[in-house]
Structure 1
Protein backbone atom coordinates (compact mmCIF):
# COMPACT_ATOMS: atom_id res chain seq x y z
CA UNK A 1 0.00 0.00 0.00
CA UNK A 2 1.16 3.49 -0.86
CA UNK A 3 0.44 6.82 0.80
CA UNK A 4 -0.43 9.94 -1.19
CA UNK A 5 3.16 11.10 -0.82
CA UNK A 6 4.59 7.79 -2.03
CA UNK A 7 2.26 7.45 -5.00
CA UNK A 8 2.85 11.07 -6.01
CA UNK A 9 6.61 10.41 -6.14
CA UNK A 10 6.13 7.09 -7.90
CA UNK A 11 4.00 8.63 -10.66
CA UNK A 12 5.56 12.10 -10.74
CA UNK A 13 2.30 13.78 -9.79
CA UNK A 14 1.84 16.39 -7.11
CA UNK A 15 0.20 15.29 -3.88
CA UNK A 16 -2.52 17.83 -4.58
CA UNK A 17 -3.19 16.22 -7.98
CA UNK A 18 -3.43 12.74 -6.47
CA UNK A 19 -5.92 13.98 -3.88
CA UNK A 20 -7.87 15.90 -6.53
CA UNK A 21 -8.18 12.83 -8.75
CA UNK A 22 -9.38 10.71 -5.86
CA UNK A 23 -11.83 13.38 -4.71
CA UNK A 24 -13.27 13.52 -8.25
CA UNK A 25 -13.89 9.79 -8.14
CA UNK A 26 -11.34 8.93 -10.81
CA UNK A 27 -9.64 6.25 -8.71
CA UNK A 28 -12.11 3.51 -7.80
CA UNK A 29 -11.98 1.87 -4.38
CA UNK A 30 -9.41 4.09 -2.74
CA UNK A 31 -8.88 2.73 0.72
CA UNK A 32 -8.42 4.68 3.95
CA UNK A 33 -6.39 3.95 7.05
CA UNK A 34 -7.64 4.40 10.62
CA UNK A 35 -6.78 8.12 10.39
CA UNK A 36 -8.77 8.47 7.13
CA UNK A 37 -5.61 8.91 5.04
CA UNK A 38 -5.82 7.59 1.49
CA UNK A 39 -4.05 4.34 0.74
CA UNK A 40 -3.30 3.11 -2.78
CA UNK A 41 -2.77 -0.49 -3.85
CA UNK A 42 -1.30 -1.62 -7.18
CA UNK A 43 -4.72 -1.43 -8.83
CA UNK A 44 -5.11 2.18 -7.68
CA UNK A 45 -1.66 2.97 -9.07
CA UNK A 46 -2.74 1.51 -12.43
CA UNK A 47 -5.84 3.73 -12.43
CA UNK A 48 -3.74 6.79 -11.60
CA UNK A 49 -1.27 5.91 -14.36
CA UNK A 50 -4.11 5.68 -16.87
CA UNK A 51 -5.59 8.96 -15.64
CA UNK A 52 -2.21 10.68 -15.88
CA UNK A 53 -1.80 9.50 -19.46
CA UNK A 54 -5.29 10.60 -20.49
CA UNK A 55 -4.82 13.99 -18.82
CA UNK A 56 -1.47 14.42 -20.57
CA UNK A 57 -3.31 13.83 -23.85
CA UNK A 58 -5.54 16.79 -23.05
CA UNK A 59 -8.63 14.96 -21.83
CA UNK A 60 -10.76 16.85 -19.34
CA UNK A 61 -11.36 15.50 -15.84
CA UNK A 62 -15.06 15.18 -16.71
CA UNK A 63 -14.29 13.05 -19.77
CA UNK A 64 -11.86 10.95 -17.76
CA UNK A 65 -14.58 10.40 -15.15
CA UNK A 66 -16.95 9.21 -17.88
CA UNK A 67 -14.22 6.94 -19.23
CA UNK A 68 -13.49 5.50 -15.76
CA UNK A 69 -17.19 4.90 -15.12
CA UNK A 70 -17.50 3.09 -18.43
CA UNK A 71 -14.44 0.96 -17.61
CA UNK A 72 -16.08 -0.04 -14.36
CA UNK A 73 -19.20 -1.16 -16.26
CA UNK A 74 -17.09 -3.67 -18.15
CA UNK A 75 -16.61 -5.01 -21.65
CA UNK A 76 -20.03 -3.90 -22.87
CA UNK A 77 -18.73 -0.32 -22.94
CA UNK A 78 -15.73 -0.88 -25.21
CA UNK A 79 -17.39 0.91 -28.14
CA UNK A 80 -18.25 3.95 -25.98
CA UNK A 81 -14.71 4.10 -24.62
CA UNK A 82 -13.38 3.84 -28.16
CA UNK A 83 -15.54 6.85 -29.15
CA UNK A 84 -14.13 8.88 -26.24
CA UNK A 85 -10.56 8.02 -27.26
CA UNK A 86 -11.32 8.74 -30.92
CA UNK A 87 -12.80 12.13 -30.01
CA UNK A 88 -9.69 12.97 -27.97
CA UNK A 89 -7.43 11.84 -30.82
CA UNK A 90 -9.26 14.13 -33.23
CA UNK A 91 -8.96 17.03 -30.79
CA UNK A 92 -5.22 16.35 -30.45
CA UNK A 93 -4.81 16.32 -34.23
CA UNK A 94 -6.64 19.65 -34.50
CA UNK A 95 -4.36 21.10 -31.80
CA UNK A 96 -1.36 19.77 -33.71
CA UNK A 97 -2.47 21.61 -36.85
CA UNK A 98 -2.92 24.81 -34.84
CA UNK A 99 0.55 24.36 -33.34
CA UNK A 100 2.02 23.91 -36.83
CA UNK A 101 0.44 27.19 -37.93
CA UNK A 102 1.81 28.98 -34.86
CA UNK A 103 5.27 27.55 -35.47
CA UNK A 104 5.15 28.61 -39.12
CA UNK A 105 4.15 32.14 -38.08
CA UNK A 106 6.97 32.30 -35.52
CA UNK A 107 9.49 31.04 -38.07
CA UNK A 108 8.41 33.78 -40.49
CA UNK A 109 8.67 36.33 -37.67
CA UNK A 110 12.15 35.09 -36.68
CA UNK A 111 13.32 35.33 -40.29
CA UNK A 112 11.98 38.87 -40.44
CA UNK A 113 14.00 39.73 -37.33
CA UNK A 114 17.11 38.27 -38.97
CA UNK A 115 16.48 40.53 -41.96
CA UNK A 116 16.28 43.50 -39.57
CA UNK A 117 19.47 42.44 -37.77
CA UNK A 118 21.26 42.00 -41.11
CA UNK A 119 19.91 45.40 -42.20
CA UNK A 120 18.00 43.95 -45.16
CA UNK A 121 14.86 45.77 -43.98
CA UNK A 122 14.12 48.45 -41.42
CA UNK A 123 12.68 47.58 -38.02
CA UNK A 124 8.91 47.72 -38.28
CA UNK A 125 8.20 45.34 -35.38
CA UNK A 126 7.87 47.85 -32.55
CA UNK A 127 4.21 48.90 -32.14
CA UNK A 128 5.41 52.01 -30.28
CA UNK A 129 6.93 53.26 -33.54
CA UNK A 130 4.05 52.53 -35.89
Structure 2
Protein backbone atom coordinates (compact mmCIF):
# COMPACT_ATOMS: atom_id res chain seq x y z
CA UNK A 1 0.00 0.00 0.00
CA UNK A 2 1.12 3.51 -0.77
CA UNK A 3 0.68 6.69 1.26
CA UNK A 4 -0.03 10.12 -0.20
CA UNK A 5 3.68 10.88 0.00
CA UNK A 6 4.57 7.64 -1.81
CA UNK A 7 2.11 8.34 -4.64
CA UNK A 8 3.39 11.90 -4.87
CA UNK A 9 6.94 10.70 -5.43
CA UNK A 10 5.97 7.80 -7.70
CA UNK A 11 3.79 9.86 -10.06
CA UNK A 12 5.25 13.34 -9.70
CA UNK A 13 2.01 14.77 -8.38
CA UNK A 14 1.77 17.14 -5.46
CA UNK A 15 0.42 15.78 -2.20
CA UNK A 16 -2.26 18.46 -2.40
CA UNK A 17 -3.36 17.16 -5.83
CA UNK A 18 -3.56 13.59 -4.55
CA UNK A 19 -5.73 14.65 -1.63
CA UNK A 20 -7.86 16.82 -3.92
CA UNK A 21 -8.46 13.92 -6.34
CA UNK A 22 -9.46 11.61 -3.50
CA UNK A 23 -11.72 14.28 -1.98
CA UNK A 24 -13.42 14.61 -5.39
CA UNK A 25 -14.02 10.83 -5.40
CA UNK A 26 -11.80 10.30 -8.44
CA UNK A 27 -9.97 7.34 -6.86
CA UNK A 28 -12.56 4.63 -6.20
CA UNK A 29 -10.06 2.21 -4.69
CA UNK A 30 -8.69 4.51 -1.99
CA UNK A 31 -8.63 2.93 1.46
CA UNK A 32 -8.23 4.44 4.91
CA UNK A 33 -6.37 3.00 7.86
CA UNK A 34 -7.52 3.17 11.49
CA UNK A 35 -6.09 6.71 11.72
CA UNK A 36 -8.05 7.78 8.60
CA UNK A 37 -4.84 8.04 6.56
CA UNK A 38 -5.35 7.52 2.83
CA UNK A 39 -3.81 4.32 1.46
CA UNK A 40 -3.52 3.39 -2.20
CA UNK A 41 -2.93 0.12 -4.04
CA UNK A 42 -1.85 -0.61 -7.62
CA UNK A 43 -5.39 -0.08 -8.86
CA UNK A 44 -5.31 3.38 -7.28
CA UNK A 45 -2.03 4.11 -9.04
CA UNK A 46 -3.67 3.16 -12.36
CA UNK A 47 -6.55 5.55 -11.65
CA UNK A 48 -4.06 8.35 -10.87
CA UNK A 49 -2.13 7.69 -14.09
CA UNK A 50 -5.33 7.89 -16.15
CA UNK A 51 -6.52 11.03 -14.37
CA UNK A 52 -3.16 12.72 -14.82
CA UNK A 53 -3.20 11.99 -18.54
CA UNK A 54 -6.75 13.23 -19.01
CA UNK A 55 -6.04 16.34 -16.94
CA UNK A 56 -2.90 17.04 -19.00
CA UNK A 57 -5.11 16.89 -22.10
CA UNK A 58 -7.26 19.63 -20.63
CA UNK A 59 -10.18 17.55 -19.39
CA UNK A 60 -12.04 19.13 -16.48
CA UNK A 61 -12.31 17.41 -13.11
CA UNK A 62 -16.07 17.17 -13.64
CA UNK A 63 -15.62 15.38 -16.98
CA UNK A 64 -12.98 13.08 -15.49
CA UNK A 65 -15.43 12.23 -12.69
CA UNK A 66 -18.09 11.42 -15.29
CA UNK A 67 -15.62 9.17 -17.14
CA UNK A 68 -14.68 7.37 -13.91
CA UNK A 69 -18.33 6.90 -13.00
CA UNK A 70 -18.93 5.38 -16.43
CA UNK A 71 -15.98 3.02 -15.92
CA UNK A 72 -17.47 1.91 -12.62
CA UNK A 73 -20.84 1.25 -14.28
CA UNK A 74 -19.20 -1.42 -16.39
CA UNK A 75 -19.40 -2.82 -19.89
CA UNK A 76 -22.65 -1.09 -20.82
CA UNK A 77 -20.79 2.24 -21.00
CA UNK A 78 -17.93 1.17 -23.28
CA UNK A 79 -19.18 3.14 -26.28
CA UNK A 80 -19.71 6.31 -24.23
CA UNK A 81 -16.23 5.99 -22.72
CA UNK A 82 -14.80 5.37 -26.19
CA UNK A 83 -16.38 8.62 -27.40
CA UNK A 84 -14.88 10.52 -24.46
CA UNK A 85 -11.40 9.11 -25.11
CA UNK A 86 -11.73 9.75 -28.86
CA UNK A 87 -12.60 13.38 -28.17
CA UNK A 88 -9.60 13.73 -25.84
CA UNK A 89 -7.36 12.12 -28.47
CA UNK A 90 -8.49 14.74 -30.98
CA UNK A 91 -7.73 17.48 -28.46
CA UNK A 92 -4.27 16.00 -27.81
CA UNK A 93 -3.57 15.84 -31.55
CA UNK A 94 -4.53 19.50 -31.87
CA UNK A 95 -2.28 20.37 -28.91
CA UNK A 96 0.57 18.48 -30.56
CA UNK A 97 0.17 20.44 -33.80
CA UNK A 98 0.10 23.71 -31.84
CA UNK A 99 3.27 22.66 -30.00
CA UNK A 100 4.94 21.86 -33.34
CA UNK A 101 4.00 25.33 -34.61
CA UNK A 102 5.51 26.92 -31.49
CA UNK A 103 8.68 24.90 -31.95
CA UNK A 104 9.01 26.01 -35.58
CA UNK A 105 8.52 29.63 -34.49
CA UNK A 106 11.23 29.28 -31.84
CA UNK A 107 13.62 27.53 -34.24
CA UNK A 108 13.18 30.42 -36.68
CA UNK A 109 13.69 32.89 -33.86
CA UNK A 110 16.92 31.16 -32.80
CA UNK A 111 18.20 31.24 -36.38
CA UNK A 112 17.27 34.90 -36.70
CA UNK A 113 19.15 35.82 -33.51
CA UNK A 114 22.14 33.74 -34.59
CA UNK A 115 22.21 35.71 -37.87
CA UNK A 116 22.11 38.95 -35.88
CA UNK A 117 24.89 37.84 -33.50
CA UNK A 118 27.03 36.64 -36.43
CA UNK A 119 26.68 40.05 -38.05
CA UNK A 120 24.84 38.63 -41.06
CA UNK A 121 21.86 40.95 -40.53
CA UNK A 122 21.20 44.01 -38.37
CA UNK A 123 19.18 43.74 -35.18
CA UNK A 124 15.69 44.35 -36.47
CA UNK A 125 13.89 42.80 -33.51
CA UNK A 126 13.93 45.76 -31.12
CA UNK A 127 10.99 48.17 -31.55
CA UNK A 128 13.11 50.98 -30.03
CA UNK A 129 15.66 50.79 -32.82
CA UNK A 130 15.40 52.38 -36.22
CA UNK A 131 14.83 49.77 -38.90
CA UNK A 132 12.54 47.68 -36.71
CA UNK A 133 11.14 44.95 -38.92
CA UNK A 134 7.43 45.08 -38.11
CA UNK A 135 5.98 43.77 -41.39
CA UNK A 136 6.90 40.18 -40.54
CA UNK A 137 5.73 39.62 -37.02
CA UNK A 138 6.61 35.93 -37.23
CA UNK A 139 10.30 36.87 -37.44
CA UNK A 140 10.30 39.27 -34.52
Structure 1 and Structure 2 fold alike (TM over 0.5): yes
Greater mean deviation of Cα atoms: 84-93 or 30-39? 30-39
* Structure 2 counterpart of 1:86: 86
CA distance in 1, matches of 2:109, 2:95: 21
**Residue 120 (structure 1) shift:** 2.2
* Structure 2 counterpart of 1:5: 5
Does 2:111 align with 1:116? no
Evaluate the alpha carbon distance shift between residue 116 and residue 46 of structure 1 in structure 2; reply closer, same or farther with a 3 A threshold: closer
* Structure 2 counterpart of 1:17: 17
Q: Which structure is higher in RCO with an 8 Å CA cutoff and minimum separation 6?
A: 1
**Residue 60 (structure 1) shift:** 2.9
* Structure 2 counterpart of 1:103: 103
Number of residue equivalences:
130
CA distance in 1, matches of 2:111, 2:87: 36
* Structure 1 counterpart of 2:40: 40
* Structure 1 counterpart of 2:69: 69
**Residue 125 (structure 1) shift:** 0.8
**Cα offsets for 1:108-127 (capped at 9, x unmatched):** 22222222122222111112
CA distance in 1, matches of 2:57, 2:48: 14
Query: What's the TM-score once normalised by structure 2's chain length?
Result: 0.79
Which ranges in structure 2 are unaligned for 5 or more consecutive residues? 133-140
CA distance in 2, matches of 1:112, 1:41: 52
**Residue 12 (structure 1) shift:** 3.1
Greater mean deviation of Cα atoms: 104-113 or 55-64? 55-64
* Structure 2 counterpart of 1:27: 27
CA distance in 2, matches of 1:8, 1:120: 50
